[in-house]
Structure 1
Amino acid sequence: MSDDVHTRFKLTYTDAPRAGRLAILTMDNGRDYTKPNTFGAQALQSLSAALDELATQTDVKGLLLTGKPFIFAVGADLTQFAGMDAEGARAGGEGGHEVFARLMALPFPTLAAINGACMGGGLEIALHCDYRTVSTGAAAIAFPEVFLSIVPGWGGTQLAPRIVGAQNAVDAIVVNALDNNKMMKPKEAFERGFADRLIDSAVFLDDSIALLERLVTGEETIVREVDATVGLDEALANARAFADAKVHGATRAPYLALELIEFAARGGDLAEGRAREAEALATLLPAHQAQASVYAFDLVQNRAKKQPWRPDARPRRLQKIAVVGAGLMGAQLGALHLQRLELPLVMKDIDEGVLGRCRDHIEGELDKQVAKGRMKAGKASFLKGLVTYTTSYEDVRGADWVIEAVLERMDLKQAIFGDLEAVLDDGAILATNTSSLSVGEMAGKLSHPERVVGFHFFNPVAVLPLVEVIKPEGVADKAMATAFDVAKKLKKTAVQCADRPAFIVNRLLSRFNGTAVTALRHGNDFRQIDEAVKGLGLPMGPFELFGLVGLKVAFHTAQTLADAFPDRFVIDDNFRAIADSDLPGIYDWSAGGEVYAGIRDLVQVDAGATPLTDDEIRRMALEAAADECGRMLNDGTVADARDIDTGMIMGAGFPFFMGGLCRHLDQTGISERVLGRTLITPEDHAQR
């Protein structure tokens, strides 16, 4: 947020019939819900000033703290974290502690009315109040700090165990944060003890004030009996194991958070706990991991949402959509398009059996939404009625947006586009979900090739948020604008890429993971190679990934790149043999994750080879990735290194604390060593 947009704490007063004068303290930055309340230095100063005023109001009997419509507060202003040193981090922690402690020490009952999104410092300030209510309409409640490689630094690690117990504190602060920054819904937050009352949003503020009035008069009391040591050892042990599996020790944040929680749970002095939090911030915030996380957060939450590559053209208005190819990927695409766009959908395939399974998947996904309470049964029935399952192109006639999701064969995709052109009007947009083939070549035989775009999803479609929008030569601005518009409506993060083999994510992963196959020739074991690479903090190793996507699929992408760039993408005979094995992956998970004997027997080790160390494996992979990143920027595959980082975070699961890939290569000096320059430049070169 800019300096002129900051959260102010505004005091008003109301006279309650029985309780007397009550203070209402509202957090509001003057913007709508799209600009949430955050806490920076100016916000803390505003809170301090409000508390100064309260000190002069001797007749106030209670205080209610709440936020602007739909937003309580979402914590610290992350823009102030960039480049922060240890002294600044420590001072920021101490400043928040000081003013929040003043709120906690008020001589009358205080109640936080959590009316909307409440995260980080927002949840911490709520915990400093005596009581809390939460609205059924609150979007999310969470401690996201560990996800950003820091810790709650304004009392969260010290108050949460005392208020909600060890297990709930550990889950909210560490486990949820590492589980893709999972948020609590209002009901869960209430059940876990973060709120004393769950109140319907329609009457939330009035009922919260009424509760405060009863608490002031003594008509109602709220008593908590929490023993923070109950289940503490088990919770800590499980959380440490979970952290090991998620980050592999590559960031200290979850481990320091657990130490702070344990200190509080075992009865540690609150003032000392606050000092320990401030020291933890001084350690973590200036480190590479937190600084990379701030950078990554900005990429995902700000830059990508603005779609800087989107041309200034009006997208086509969609009234009917179609998916050609109703297999596993096509069914997922159909389900997503149907639920997000709510338009008539045609699922086209040549096989009635495939269409039947597709129907089962799409309708099953709707039924799951109903079962979870996320959709009314009537709405699900309506959406089911919008879908046509067909073997005829005639049913596709009239569609405005058609995406193909068939086998990765150029001749097949060209034939399908030719058949589609025969039944669609000249302005309909054709999209391909190809993972590696040339979009331009695919469109080359059409009368209107300018209508074709690449629209590459990642599997599973419902989980991974990235879509690579491929821009072939000569594509119309309207087609690209439509693709970006569809991505936004599908709630996917779209990144533009030139029409180059394997695009962004698969090209980089192939180069990065290709070094794992090289390590086999040195005599390294599959598991050791995977564990070495995961030591960077990645969610899975190369051979685990090969098994997830399918050995033949991984080999096909590698072959495409070897054909395009034979100087550096070379198919190793070990990889070829493994891909031809017809086994489902490298590891037999039914046997505890042992390498299949049939896979192990295929590996040939070079004569006289010496196994690589973990550091050598990681260095080899990162240096190869740095070289490829440089080439992708040079050949125009992407406009800016930030595009690569966004793709690797959202499509390949690279953690925030690495900042994607380019940021990590720059921070560790690898890009300078390999390329003689950094990859990220001060100027963002993405077209605007």
Structure 2
Amino acid sequence: MPAPSYTERVTVVRPSDVEVPGLGTAALLVLVAEDGSDRPCSLGPTGLANLEAAVAEAGSRAARGEVGAVVLTGGGRTFLAGADLTMMRAATTADEVRALAEAGHRLVAAIADLPVPTLAHLNGAALGGGLEIALACDHRTAAPGVRAIGLPEVTLGLLPGWGGCTVLPRLVGPDAALTVILDNPARANTLLDAAGAQRLGVVDVVVGSLEAALEHLGATVTAGRAGGPATAEQAGGPAGAESIAPAGGAVPVPADEAAWSAAVGARRERARAAAAGGAPAAARALGIVEASRTRTRAESFAAEDDGLTELVMTDQCRASLYAADLLGHRTARPGRPEGVEPRPVTSVGIAGAGLMAGQLALLLARSLRVPVTMRDLDDERAARGLAAVRAEIGRMRERGRLDEATAEELTGLVTVTTDLTDLAGADLVVEAVFEELEVKRAVLSELEGVVSPTAVLATNTSALSVTAMAEHLRHPERVVGLHFFNPVAQMPLVEVVRARRTDDPTYATAFAVADRCRKTSVAVADAPGFVVNRLLVRLLGEVLGSLEEGTTVAEADAALVPMGLPMGPFQLLQLVGPAVAEHVLITLREQLGERYPDSPGLRAVVASGRAFVTGGGRPTAASPVDPAVEELFGSRRSPEPLDAAGVLRRVQLALAEETHLLLREGVVSGAEDVDLAMILGAGWPAHNGGLTPYLDRTGAAEERGGRFHPRGVADLP
């Protein structure tokens, strides 16, 4: 991926006049792409200037009494997608960034200061700066089909810098505002739909057309002039909402200052922890929201300018923007067979009925809407597997994720058997049995004896050689790796593994199935551990190796905090399961060599049944690490064991070495695929840009063979 260059995709304004009941003529400003395409509109310097000029002209007409309102809407699929992120990635000086921030604030202030009522009708997505422009209007409506309303800036290493930290708390209250600014982005960048935005007070009402939005505007303003609206909704916002004051004026402060402090305080620790893990944007946004309570609009906007400028001019922000661009183009990654039709899949078989098999069965039934048959060795296992699937369908129905009809359909689609011949008609059979090469070989051999010659045989192995599994089959060309991650429903990645003799139709079918499951696919060669497990096990191996050499559990646990990983190494070991971790570590050690350290301590943990964390249930990032487990380690003590900083550097260098090796081996097509796999399959922080920008930034990449990216791709130029 080359360093970004910047050519603005310009947004223009199509002005016209419309009639608003009770208000007369209104200036309608429609935002569209200059090139006539239906691409999402964003605002760079020229687009901002275009909209600012259109707002100024509408203001002049209002002052002359020619129009009684100003209305903004989009002309394509979006209302407005916000500031042009390509410009931010390409910016080389703080002055460029500050100019864009200040231009956005001038526009927002100009809209807020118009002398007539204003309306933003969200015909489509309103994100970031696009939503902030809408917030500057007196009233907001949204079409019922809108699914993307929000302020996702902190996920990009930014903050809402065109008034979001200032205006939104006064519109909906600080707690609801921080839900949009901080909480939703932290929940995998959750966005509001139109109804959700109305419930939160971000939009007044959901209406079916622009004409209905104009009627709402006229009725609301007329009611206000007649003595005030009867409800907060009629007023265009929630009870207690206050508009932003003119430039330089005093900003109204919500009456309940305790609620404001409580809202900020409830998020302070999470923002601090994110900053400690290398993501400072949330803490910076929270600080501006907190301080804006007593600032004038001009003062608060200036603080947003400072915060946005300083954040953009950091390596962390550039890495976040690199990751966002990568994730936005993930379906375009190389490796798929071109011009090859996938085979039709009208029924699916699952070899196995355990936990992973059941998850796969439900995912494939729900995604493909075809019959799925699980097969296990005895009636008890089979029945237990089917009961687990049906229980999960019941939970999804209770939570509102499935309606009654769909739940009933899925219940009928998933069946179970102990008879191998019941899989004979399947177009795709996925083996999901114990992670042991000989067991998987035997299962595939059995399947080949009953399925049709064109059926695709897939393995869900997480680390074993797909080529070795298929080498004794009559038709190894129809075997492929489909490595789904656990939990299957939530994890967005599939590693699609091409064995030595996998043919193009089989490989194309694997990608097509992953696509229909709405997963992101990364094409990987058949190599030990593929990408994610190879790198994660190398990381865990280095931590365990440090314990064997005398590093304390406390030091090792603290070591990786600056990486910002979703959980620490010991919580991850416990989540994976010490026995599974030991099995994979031994397997990769045998296949890749001594750089995957031997760990007698891990063997002792498995043999003793001890745990790395305390407390019951599924381990989480908050599970306390048990320091007493340290007594099982120390088999090769060093006179000077590593402290936390030493362990961190050891892990960084090991990951840089392993990444260089897998790239040289052609396991994936490039460093971008490593980053995509690690972000989506291992939860590697997007604010680090994935793995390789982080290794570049820390100098580990150069120390172990060279940078993965030219400067300016995922860090400052």
- Which category describes the TM-score, using the shorter chain as reference length? over 0.9
Q: What displacement does 1:464 show?
A: 1.4
Contact between 1:439 and 1:499, CA under 8 Å: does it hold in 2?
yes
Q: What displacement does 1:210 show?
A: 0.6
The alpha-carbon distance between structure 1 residues 206 and 357, as it changes in their structure 2 partners (threshold 3 A), is farther
Larger displacement relative to structure 2 (218-227 or 80-89)? 218-227
Alignment identity in percent? 37
Task: Specify which of 8, 13, 22 is matched with residue 12 of structure 2.
Answer: 8
Q: What displacement does 1:593 show?
A: 4.5
The alpha-carbon distance between structure 1 residues 564 and 285, as it changes in their structure 2 partners (threshold 3 A), is same
- 1:412 pairs with 2:442: no
Alpha-carbon distance between aligned partners in 2 of 1:579 and 1:32, rounded to the nearest angstrom = 63
Q: What displacement does 1:671 show?
A: 0.8
- 1:619 pairs with 2:649: yes
Contact between 1:247 and 1:539, CA under 8 Å: does it hold in 2?
no
Aligned twin of 2:260? 232
Larger displacement relative to structure 2 (78-87 or 61-70)? 61-70
Aligned twin of 1:213? 218
Aligned twin of 2:698? 668
Aligned twin of 1:80? 87
Q: What displacement does 1:407 show?
A: 0.3
Task: Specify which of 398, 410, 420 is matched with residue 383 of structure 1.
Answer: 410
Alpha-carbon distance between aligned partners in 1 of 2:36 and 2:576, rounded to the nearest angstrom = 42
Alpha-carbon distance between aligned partners in 1 of 2:276 and 2:147, rounded to the nearest angstrom = 31
Question: What 5-or-longer segments of structure 1 have no aligned partner?
Answer: none
Instruction: Give the number of aligned pairs.
Output: 677
Q: What displacement does 1:116 show?
A: 2.6
Deviation string 1:241-273 (CA, Å, 9 cap, x unpaired) is 122445534121111101110112x22111111
Contact between 2:601 and 2:635, CA under 8 Å: does it hold in 1?
no
Letter in 2 for 1:95: A
Task: Specify which of 257, 261, 275 is matched with residue 289 of structure 2.
Answer: 261
Aligned twin of 2:246? none
Q: What displacement does 1:567 show?
A: 3.0
Q: How does 1:416-455 map to 2 (within 5 A)?
A: 416-455=443-482
Aligned twin of 2:358? 331
Letter in 1 for 2:190: K
- 1:648 pairs with 2:681: no
The alpha-carbon distance between structure 1 residues 369 and 187, as it changes in their structure 2 partners (threshold 3 A), is farther
Aligned twin of 1:366? 393
- 1:589 pairs with 2:621: no
SS at match of 2:563: coil
Alpha-carbon distance between aligned partners in 2 of 1:626 and 1:526, rounded to the nearest angstrom = 24
Letter in 1 for 2:16: T
The alpha-carbon distance between structure 1 residues 449 and 566, as it changes in their structure 2 partners (threshold 3 A), is same
Aligned twin of 1:161? 169
Aligned twin of 1:475? 502
- 1:243 pairs with 2:271: yes
Task: Specify which of 513, 523, 526 is matched with residue 496 of structure 1.
Answer: 523
The alpha-carbon distance between structure 1 residues 181 and 34, as it changes in their structure 2 partners (threshold 3 A), is farther
Contact between 1:83 and 1:286, CA under 8 Å: does it hold in 2?
no
Alpha-carbon distance between aligned partners in 2 of 1:328 and 1:565, rounded to the nearest angstrom = 29
Letter in 2 for 1:562: R
The alpha-carbon distance between structure 1 residues 578 and 246, as it changes in their structure 2 partners (threshold 3 A), is farther
Task: Specify which of 505, 515, 519 is matched with residue 532 of structure 2.
Answer: 505
Q: TM-score if structure 1 supplies the norm length?
A: 0.93
Alpha-carbon distance between aligned partners in 2 of 1:615 and 1:582, rounded to the nearest angstrom = 30
Alpha-carbon distance between aligned partners in 2 of 1:39 and 1:342, rounded to the nearest angstrom = 41
Q: What displacement does 1:387 show?
A: 2.1
Question: What 5-or-longer segments of structure 2 have no aligned partner?
Answer: 230-234, 242-253
Alpha-carbon distance between aligned partners in 2 of 1:246 and 1:351, rounded to the nearest angstrom = 48
SS at match of 1:60: coil
- 1:461 pairs with 2:488: yes
Q: What displacement does 1:124 show?
A: 0.6
Letter in 2 for 1:147: T
Alpha-carbon distance between aligned partners in 2 of 1:33 and 1:334, rounded to the nearest angstrom = 41
Alpha-carbon distance between aligned partners in 1 of 2:687 and 2:537, rounded to the nearest angstrom = 22
Letter in 2 for 1:646: L
Aligned twin of 1:633? 663
Deviation string 1:43-86 (CA, Å, 9 cap, x unpaired) is 21221232243245342111222224553222222222214232
Contact between 2:275 and 2:281, CA under 8 Å: does it hold in 1?
no
Task: Specify which of 697, 707, 710 is matched with residue 678 of structure 1.
Answer: 707
Deviation string 1:282-319 (CA, Å, 9 cap, x unpaired) is 111121111001111111111x2114211111111211
Aligned twin of 1:42? 46
Alpha-carbon distance between aligned partners in 1 of 2:430 and 2:615, rounded to the nearest angstrom = 34
Contact between 2:349 and 2:374, CA under 8 Å: does it hold in 1?
yes
Letter in 1 for 2:331: K
Larger displacement relative to structure 2 (457-466 or 188-197)? 188-197
Q: What displacement does 1:141 show?
A: 1.9
Alpha-carbon distance between aligned partners in 1 of 2:550 and 2:369, rounded to the nearest angstrom = 54
Letter in 2 for 1:680: H
The alpha-carbon distance between structure 1 residues 593 and 645, as it changes in their structure 2 partners (threshold 3 A), is closer
SS at match of 1:646: helix
Alpha-carbon distance between aligned partners in 2 of 1:276 and 1:387, rounded to the nearest angstrom = 56
- 1:535 pairs with 2:562: yes
Contact between 1:169 and 1:261, CA under 8 Å: does it hold in 2?
no
**RMSD across aligned positions (CA):** 2.4
Alpha-carbon distance between aligned partners in 2 of 1:645 and 1:34, rounded to the nearest angstrom = 30
Alpha-carbon distance between aligned partners in 1 of 2:599 and 2:473, rounded to the nearest angstrom = 37
Q: TM-score if structure 2 supplies the norm length?
A: 0.90
Aligned twin of 2:251? none
Aligned twin of 1:109? 117
- 1:578 pairs with 2:605: yes
SS at match of 1:231: helix
- 1:172 pairs with 2:187: no
Letter in 2 for 1:531: A
Contact between 1:165 and 1:229, CA under 8 Å: does it hold in 2?
no
Alpha-carbon distance between aligned partners in 2 of 1:118 and 1:597, rounded to the nearest angstrom = 48
